[in-house]
Structure 1
Amino acid sequence: MQSKHNKLLVAAGLLLGGLTTCQKLPAPTASVAANPAASPWPAVTTQTRPWVRWWWMGSAVDAKNLRLQLTQFKDVGLGGAEITPIYGAVGYEQQYIDYLSPTWLKMLSTTTHTADSLGLGVDMNVGTGWPYGGPQITPEQAASKLVVQKYSLAAGQRLKEKLALQDPKQLRPAPLVALTAYGSKGERLDLRSKVAADGTLNWQPTTGSWELYAAFSGNTRQMVKRAAPGGAGLVLDHLSQEALKTYLNRFDQAFAGQPTGVRSFFNDSYEVFEADFTPRLLDEFQQRRGYDVRPYLRELVSQSTTDEAARLRDDYRETMAELVQENFVTPWTAWIHGKKGLSRNQSHGFPGNLLDLYATVDIPECETFGITRFPIPDIRYYSEEAAYTNPPPDLVMLKFASSAGHVLGKPLVSSETFTWLGEHFKVPLSNCKPEVEQVFLAGVNHVFYHGTTYSPAEAPWPGWLFYASTNFAPSNSWWPHLTGLNDYITRCQSVLQAGRAESDVLLYWPVYDVRHYAPPAKLDMMVSIHTIDQWLQPTAFYQDAQQLIKSGYAVDFVSDKLLQQSQVNGGRLQVAPQGAVYQALVVPKANFMPIETLENIVQRAQQGATVIIQEMPKDVPGFHQLETRRQRLRAIVAGLNFASVSAGVQLAKVGNGQILLASNVQQALDYQKITRETLTDSGLKFIRRAVPDGRYYYLVNHTAKPVDSWVPLNTTASSVLLLDPQTGRSGLAASKSEGNGTTVRLQLQPGEAMIVKTSTGAAAGPAWPYLAPAGPVQSIAGPWSLRFTQGGPELPKAQQLAKLVSWTELSEPNAARFSGRAEYTTTFTLPTKPATDYVLKLGDVRESAHVWVNGHDAGLVWSFPYECHLGTYLKKGRNELKIEVANLMANRIIDLDQRKVTWRKYHEINFVNLAYKPFDAANWPWQPSGLLGPVTLTPYAATKL
């Protein structure tokens, strides 16, 4: 047991089965933690398991296949599915079911009842495809855009044509919403009252030359993308609460007040293009911003980058942000609560403040799109087509969703995960692990796979598939090995859903800088993951966030509105009673800040909070009463008397507190003795959760080097428990107290993760074994018997291998084009067994494996490093080794395309590659497959600490 006096807990003993990458398979229906009362792990629930987006193609579902696929989900360890109906497969049109029809609702009921009987959950997209829209949306309630036409008149001239939107594709006569005349001498006239009902302008200038700007409320004409039968139609106006009511009324009528069986209702990322208007927007603008923008119509729609034009656009964008918040996200969430459900929303892309939008819903959801290239040795990425690859997921972008969850104490933060992780059929499970770890490190604790497609059993291989990868389908070669990834995620999420987030720094997001400097080409500002190189990455906020995280501070972001809700208690900031508690508020360089926000920041400092400002704001945003607000800003800044207190840090006393001014934020944090987690100096990444008796640290090694050292933790602890999320094993760590912290001995290979549980009290259990190589490496060279067990298009004949080679190099004609699973068997002799343990290293595995030794299930090996501890199962003398290997789907797809077999038969977009071009794998090279080795056995002994 660990005392508080540098007393070491020296670990010894045997491993409890399996290295961190060797997953012990549970029985299909067993919980990962079979006996929660006796387990050091938090209990497993439906929500701790990963879920999956479930595309219903044409909603052509039936009860038999629904149960079959839900059972398949259950058997591999999924926790639930989100139903999103889309376009259908060609040839199955007679089986299509119209969205929200009585038959469709019956299938939804069948799904929820079947899922419930299997212990699974069901979520539902409130629509088909995306974005929201459908047959109930009329042109008057559809997504709108501001269209401006320009006319010129000289003195004495009349406008000959009638004022009407010159767009024959418009779905309705577009109402005139503004008409402003600009004279050559600076005159501005509102001419709306001079326009007759038929569009005739009853006005002519008497002197000078004039420009007329006529603004119309036009339609974007955008239709629902990837709509399912019964769901096609216009995209709704997200700025109009009346349009939302019309949209949701269809669901009210369909559900008829009956329970839905749905846990949460979902809204996908906002992809409403050119929708920068709603019929009431100009009136709302005047009410909210305090002035009428119509006289400034010319400047508003210009491409000018003048300060005036930028301020007008900023005010316009803020009005849109408020409308989408108040007229869509807030009433949408209230409607869901009326259905006894939870709201789950992807706020990115919305023309609003991401943090406020995420804060409004029950489950904020971010999204990964593309793949990150981690420096883990030997990790392979098969989608090498540089022109096709998407920008990698960005940790700072992901944290907008989790920040809203953390500051308000929301139990769940979700992620649409693995979207276009790679090209179709080229994504191994080993690519998924570091990517999902990055999601966890960003604060996500409820993963949704993107995705799987409902496919009837009678559909030929590869079954029905969605046009975008990743394909988490039962037809995938590695599907039986998916249990490894699923159980890893389940263990991680059981910890990451425990307690509450624990962070150090609250970082203010200067959204007004983003709006002010947004490109003038568009009035709407879609805060999208695809444009982070424009609105996020160039900013001081982004640089501060990255630097603080890299330095070892746990950081969450805060908006103006959320900051307004914050309280100070004992010098700590907290936005909500159940939310995270912060040691400091950091304000990055911001050129524009509302006077109310600056006043709020000073007030928090007066109340005792630590406030660090990188640079005082230079100006206020917006156009109305500009000089008055500027004077208030200058007065506040002038009232702060800063004096140098250390190198690079100035301090101003305010009330009962102080404000620090430092261009290098970390210097100010050091001055305040707000300590960081120095474990990041070793390259480890972390996120923390606070629980009543201590902390959970989730640690990941994404570097190219192993970590085998004493690692400092910024907390005091009486005992430390290590929990391996890859295998479920646990043990008491070697730890010691040092000052106000604790150091713990860790051994982590590149690509491995570890959960560290610190406790204020004593913990019981076996000691964690620390091992080091203890002898020469033994080669397991074969010969090998190779037997193909499952897959196609045909099972190759069994082989005897003198050495390990790829299936694509075998003389057997069916081997190159085969995708599926095969078993390798061999024997080897262990002359003696003096070592504490033995590590089986599989070398090059294409792509995942399942290991048995002497008839014992030693687990799954599905990610880097491809290793497995076998000490428990080995015996002196002759040992039998069996390794099942699954390859990628790619080779079988190559064969189909080379033989010109038509398997891509879908309506709408059909099936595309990473570049969104028609998919064709005929020219792909065969993908190496199978166990390539070398396979070795290394003895290990307990180390002396």
Structure 2
Amino acid sequence: MLVGGLATAATAQTNLQQLEKTFQNPPDNAKPMLRWWWFGPSVTKPEILREMQQIKAGGFGGFVIHYVYPLALDDPQTGFRNLPFLSPAMLSDVSYANRQAHALGLRAGTALASGWPYGGPMTAVTEAAAKIVQKESTVAPGAHSVALPSIGNGQKLLAVFAQDGSAGSQQKMLPLPAPVTLRMAIPTGTHIVDWYLMSRTGQQVKRAAVDANGFVLDHFSHHAVADHLKNVGDKLVAAFGSEPPDSVFSDSLEVFGADWTPDFLEEFRKKNGYSLLPYLPDLFMKHPDAQALAVRHDWGVTLTALIDENYLTQVNAWARAHHTHLRAQVYGPPAVSLSSNNLVDLPEGEGPQWRQFAYTRWATSAGHLYGRPIISSETFTWLHSPAFRATPLDVKAEADRFFLQGVNQIYCHGWPYSPPSAGEPGWRFYAAAVFDAHNPWWIVMPEVTQYLQRVSWIMRQGAPANRVAIFLPEDDAWAAFTPGQVALTGLLPRWITPQLTQAIENSGYDFDYIDAAAIQARGIHYSLLILPNVDRISPAALTAIQQYEKSGGKVIALGRIPAHAPGFLHYEQISAEVNRESHAFFGHPGARVRVVQAVSGLGDALHQMLTPAMTLSAAKPAVGFVRRKLDDADIYFLANTSNVSIHTVAHLRSRYTSGTWLDPMSGKAYAAQSRNGGWPLHLAPYGSTILVLHAKNVRLPVAAGHDSFNPSSTKAIADLSSDWNVSFPALHLQEPMATLASWTKNEKTLYYSGVAVYRRTLEVAQNDLDHAPLLLSFGQGTPVSPSAFHRQMGTRAWLNPPVHVAAVVYVNGRLAGTVWHPPYVLAVGGLLKPGANQIEVRVANTAINEMAGKSLPDYRLLWARYGRRFEPQDMKHLQPLPSGLLGKVELLEGESR
């Protein structure tokens, strides 16, 4: 027994030591990835190679190629040309990029289409996204026939209903007219004729490359998807040769208005056991009754089944057959469910909204439920718009919100390919942050990407340990479908409100979503299940929840208890069964079952039923956490999502009493000291940290002390806020700066974007060096109120920093570190010497200043040639932004913590 215990302890120590060691330099597969925008495409092999070398140098793990709209016209005089999508020249460039990526150690993937959603010129109208349409004809008094509606290619008349127009009259289905009929006979007294047609949405592929525009395909059709894979997918993957793509990608579906497919009626009958044809009017009823809601539910379930079978399953199987994996954003219209994510190898989310319903948590929850170890996110899509406006701190502020939802692979949105002819700051996507080397703050990009890499890697260790699950009322959402509006993720926020999410998070719990399909397939492996205002539920799902409670699970019904059957067949009988069983289950609340009438009472109920995972000494809603569980430790990622410092004590649920801090910025480990069972937590604005809790007999190698900055326990030794010599290498300009001020105060540098080099001498006495640590402080940021700004797209850090916006610091020619996030302090004691010391600070701003000094590109002729395929986002009225060192720069004698 003793030997076994010692062996276990030794293994734990080895595992944790390896964890700490690997955390400093995580494997490359945890590096952030890029969306690489190929505009046109108008790429050349020399520029492809140059940009990939920069991608490598910036600390990225690789890229996925996206083939998007052109940004310039072909010019025979300069040799500039756009390559038609899937042309031999374009595919040759794809092959070249893949070969060079492998030579550089980068991962290369591809989108399976140009723009999004899937579709294009090879999608015929008969395979385009389809919808059901109701058209109404008013019949003249005494008329005995009515003209048929116009029916074009790709359309089909499904049914005809007549009504006499009297109060309470019922619609009567008529036989379909003969194919060549121009007018249709109608019963005497008919006042209104309703025609039900299958039509096409007409949606075009968004942001398409040259020769790639066309219809969005029918995602419910096996043939339409198969044809796209044959005509597009096969050619793209073939270009990768013997080295298949790292992954192939399906973007957010965004198939707007699609709710039908040619064989829908046949599929509906097979899946539901009755014909939908007589009930088509129920889909369009303005005030649906119980029957209409039940029919709509079955219509929605069928749509979900068809996209699962014909799109997700087929594309994922195709990817595997081509020795790669499908990475897919499984949300948005049309009607995918949470468990649809189980049909793809690599689910991906989008959206940093961690305190409300989010597509990101939709993806991470499915990954946790179905055992997907890697869950990625499309990140920085609208980060501090417009393009080039985002700062490194903005990047961290948004990334942490994704990590708090369980993401462990970042896809940066994105890297714009930009030829030398584009000049500075180069091309940019119509929206999104810019991560390429044209960005002035590229000088700190390796540090930014290393932060993302470390947190991504730590978020893959062990297993997710969320203890609360929210049951998604998908059956209620299916019943709420209406023609043209068939997205579960668009409707579920009616039930999964911000108030619900915040009540759980503010009470100290981490949570996932779960749906009925996941319960049937995987069971319920959470400590507590919440049913938020669920009305419709299947007897099978209700029985599974009852069995879960009998096995020790806890259940809260919020707002109401279930009372109705989901679908149409045997609706009244099954509803009575659900109502009876639900009242029996929830009718006698006890230790493991509660009915909470309002979300305001949810927090108290949770605390009575389940110990929180985290309790803070004072309420701090801006602090979020994620818990991962190892065999021998618990890992907590903790982040401050606010613009003010937070000092509190965190009581964390764990059986372990010893801890080690891991700093995701430096990669260092520090011994953690508990205080009365809690862990003192000091988080700078938008700061984050990782706490590993482990057994007492485990000793991780740790640094001497935690270098978190406490301004209240410092003493100023020297003020360095004046007498700098500043040079602007790109301008061949050098000027003294007696007092620190923004570059925009000087007409010569008003529109300058790039790097400025600050130099000065610092005299340090020997006795100052004897006191450690010595810190170089650049000042503190000032919180900014969001209310002071007009509505804008995207996340941003609401902090006015003392360094605009990033700096690399050298002391006596040796690298001291980078400064781009609070607390804007560097330890420099080991770099200083008695007497004169040379301080050099290379400061970078954003590209906005240069863009503000230029005219915006004139896309008139481009749009005349190719159509208006994009609209630059938030590019009007650009103004130069403050730049440079603007805080109080001091040498401090600090106190480590």
Tell me if TM exceeds 0.5: yes
- 2:653 aligned with 1:714, yes or no? yes
Q: Deviations over 1:797-822 (max 9, x none)?
A: 10011111111112xx4311111001
Question: Counterpart in 2 of 1:147?
Answer: 133
Question: Counterpart in 1 of 2:344?
Answer: 361
Name whichever of 255-264 and 342-351 sits farther off.
255-264
Please report how far the alpha carbon of residue 874 of structure 1 lies from its aligned counterpart in structure 2 after TM superposition.
2.6
Q: Deviations over 1:289-315 (max 9, x none)?
A: 333232233332233344444443333
Task: Note if contact 2:616-2:648 (Cα within 8 Å) is conserved in structure 1.
Answer: no
CA distance in 1, matches of 2:130, 2:28: 41
CA distance in 2, matches of 1:636, 1:457: 70
- 2:161 aligned with 1:180, yes or no? yes
CA distance in 1, matches of 2:19, 2:587: 56
Question: Counterpart in 1 of 2:723?
Answer: 783
CA distance in 2, matches of 1:861, 1:597: 53
CA distance in 2, matches of 1:395, 1:840: 42
CA shift in 2, pair 1:768/1:349, >3 Å: farther
Name whichever of 47-56 and 604-613 sits farther off.
604-613
CA shift in 2, pair 1:800/1:592, >3 Å: same
Task: Note if contact 1:420-1:914 (Cα within 8 Å) is conserved in structure 2.
Answer: no
Question: Counterpart in 1 of 2:613?
Answer: 676
Q: Deviations over 1:421-461 (max 9, x none)?
A: 12233221121111111111011111111111112234322
Question: Counterpart in 2 of 1:503?
Answer: 466
Matched AA of 2:46: K
Matched AA of 1:798: Q
- 2:195 aligned with 1:214, yes or no? yes
RMSD: 2.9
Question: Counterpart in 2 of 1:399?
Answer: 361
Task: Note if contact 1:151-1:213 (Cα within 8 Å) is conserved in structure 2.
Answer: yes
Question: Counterpart in 1 of 2:6?
Answer: none
CA distance in 1, matches of 2:888, 2:584: 71
Name whichever of 597-606 and 106-115 sits farther off.
597-606
Gaps of 5+ in 2: 1-16, 780-801
CA shift in 2, pair 1:199/1:675, >3 Å: same
Question: Counterpart in 2 of 1:566?
Answer: 522
Question: Counterpart in 2 of 1:112?
Answer: 98
1:624 pairs with one of 560, 563, 569: 569
Which one has the bigger helix percentage? 2
Amino-acid identity (%): 29
CA shift in 2, pair 1:904/1:678, >3 Å: farther
Matched AA of 2:362: F
CA distance in 2, matches of 1:601, 1:148: 40
Task: Note if contact 1:180-1:213 (Cα within 8 Å) is conserved in structure 2.
Answer: yes
Task: State the SS of the aligned residue for 1:735.
Answer: coil
Question: Counterpart in 2 of 1:81?
Answer: 63
Name whichever of 501-510 and 901-910 sits farther off.
901-910
Please report how far the alpha carbon of residue 701 of structure 1 lies from its aligned counterpart in structure 2 after TM superposition.
2.0
- 2:160 aligned with 1:199, yes or no? no
CA shift in 2, pair 1:218/1:725, >3 Å: same
Task: State the SS of the aligned residue for 1:291.
Answer: coil
CA distance in 1, matches of 2:394, 2:25: 27
2:873 pairs with one of 911, 914, 918: 914
The structure showing larger relative contact order (alpha-carbon pairs under 8 Å, at least 6 residues apart) is: 1
CA distance in 1, matches of 2:251, 2:72: 25
CA shift in 2, pair 1:767/1:305, >3 Å: same
- 2:29 aligned with 1:47, yes or no? yes
CA shift in 2, pair 1:685/1:449, >3 Å: same
Question: Counterpart in 1 of 2:884?
Answer: 930
Task: State the SS of the aligned residue for 1:436.
Answer: helix
- 2:260 aligned with 1:304, yes or no? no
Task: Within 5 Å, give how 1:628-639 maps onto structure 2.
Answer: 628-639=573-584
CA distance in 1, matches of 2:270, 2:439: 56
Task: State the SS of the aligned residue for 2:231.
Answer: helix
Q: Deviations over 1:737-782 (max 9, x none)?
A: x6xxx53344322221111112235123235525752434632133
Task: Note if contact 1:59-1:98 (Cα within 8 Å) is conserved in structure 2.
Answer: yes
Task: Note if contact 1:239-1:327 (Cα within 8 Å) is conserved in structure 2.
Answer: yes
Matched AA of 1:624: L
CA distance in 1, matches of 2:573, 2:725: 84
CA distance in 1, matches of 2:692, 2:251: 35
Please report how far the alpha carbon of residue 914 of structure 1 lies from its aligned counterpart in structure 2 after TM superposition.
3.3
Task: Within 5 Å, give how 1:639-658 maps onto structure 2.
Answer: 639-640=584-585, 642-643=587-588, 650-651=589-590
TM-score, scaled relative to structure 1: 0.83
Q: Deviations over 1:528-569 (max 9, x none)?
A: 6xx6xxx344435653332112211110000110011233xx
CA shift in 2, pair 1:42/1:942, >3 Å: closer
Gaps of 5+ in 1: 1-34, 373-391, 568-572, 575-581, 644-649, 653-657
Task: Within 5 Å, give how 1:680-691 maps onto structure 2.
Answer: 681=618, 683=620, 684-691=623-630
CA distance in 2, matches of 1:143, 1:764: 57
CA shift in 2, pair 1:639/1:191, >3 Å: same
Question: Counterpart in 2 of 1:826?
Answer: 760
Please report how far the alpha carbon of residue 628 of structure 1 lies from its aligned counterpart in structure 2 after TM superposition.
1.0
Question: Counterpart in 2 of 1:271?
Answer: 254
Task: Note if contact 1:846-1:932 (Cα within 8 Å) is conserved in structure 2.
Answer: yes
- 2:847 aligned with 1:889, yes or no? yes
Question: Counterpart in 1 of 2:374?
Answer: 412
Question: Counterpart in 2 of 1:804?
Answer: 740
Task: Within 5 Å, give how 1:357-756 maps onto structure 2.
Answer: 357-368=340-351, 394=356, 396-421=358-383, 422-517=385-480, 520=482, 522-527=483-488, 535-539=491-495, 542-567=498-523, 573-574=524-525, 582-614=526-558, 615-640=560-585, 642-643=587-588, 650-651=589-590, 659-663=593-597, 664-679=601-616, 681=618, 683=620, 684-708=623-647, 710-717=649-656, 719-735=658-674, 743-756=678-691
Task: Within 5 Å, give how 1:309-388 maps onto structure 2.
Answer: 309-368=292-351
Question: Counterpart in 2 of 1:840?
Answer: 776
Matched AA of 1:818: Y
Q: Deviations over 1:631-685 (max 9, x none)?
A: 1112212433744xxxxxx228xxxxx5443444444443444433114845231
CA distance in 2, matches of 1:100, 1:42: 42
Please report how far the alpha carbon of residue 153 of structure 1 lies from its aligned counterpart in structure 2 after TM superposition.
5.0
Question: Counterpart in 1 of 2:797?
Answer: none
Name whichever of 61-70 and 900-909 sits farther off.
900-909
Task: Note if contact 2:430-2:873 (Cα within 8 Å) is conserved in structure 1.
Answer: no
Please report how far the alpha carbon of residue 606 of structure 1 lies from its aligned counterpart in structure 2 after TM superposition.
3.1
Q: Deviations over 1:254-276 (max 9, x none)?
A: 25695452111111112222222
Please report how far the alpha carbon of residue 870 of structure 1 lies from its aligned counterpart in structure 2 after TM superposition.
1.8
Matched AA of 1:588: P
TM-score, scaled relative to structure 2: 0.87
Matched AA of 2:679: V
CA shift in 2, pair 1:84/1:822, >3 Å: same
CA shift in 2, pair 1:588/1:36, >3 Å: same
Task: Note if contact 2:337-2:474 (Cα within 8 Å) is conserved in structure 1.
Answer: no
Please report how far the alpha carbon of residue 709 of structure 1 lies from its aligned counterpart in structure 2 after TM superposition.
5.1
- 2:788 aligned with 1:849, yes or no? no
Task: State the SS of the aligned residue for 2:886.
Answer: strand
Task: Note if contact 2:561-2:586 (Cα within 8 Å) is conserved in structure 1.
Answer: no
CA shift in 2, pair 1:903/1:471, >3 Å: farther
Q: Deviations over 1:314-359 (max 9, x none)?
A: 3322222221122211211111111111111112213224412223
Task: Note if contact 1:320-1:524 (Cα within 8 Å) is conserved in structure 2.
Answer: no
Q: Deviations over 1:893-917 (max 9, x none)?
A: 122128x8999967544764435xx
Task: Note if contact 2:122-2:214 (Cα within 8 Å) is conserved in structure 1.
Answer: yes
Q: Deviations over 1:876-897 (max 9, x none)?
A: 4332211000011111112212
Task: State the SS of the aligned residue for 2:30.
Answer: coil
CA distance in 2, matches of 1:290, 1:507: 31
CA shift in 2, pair 1:674/1:153, >3 Å: same
Q: Deviations over 1:687-717 (max 9, x none)?
A: 1122232122111123455344543221122
Q: Deviations over 1:21-64 (max 9, x none)?
A: xxxxxxxxxxxxxx979825175233211111111111222222
Matched AA of 1:697: Y
Matched AA of 1:238: H
Question: Counterpart in 2 of 1:71?
Answer: 53
Task: Within 5 Å, give how 1:237-252 maps onto structure 2.
Answer: 237-251=218-232
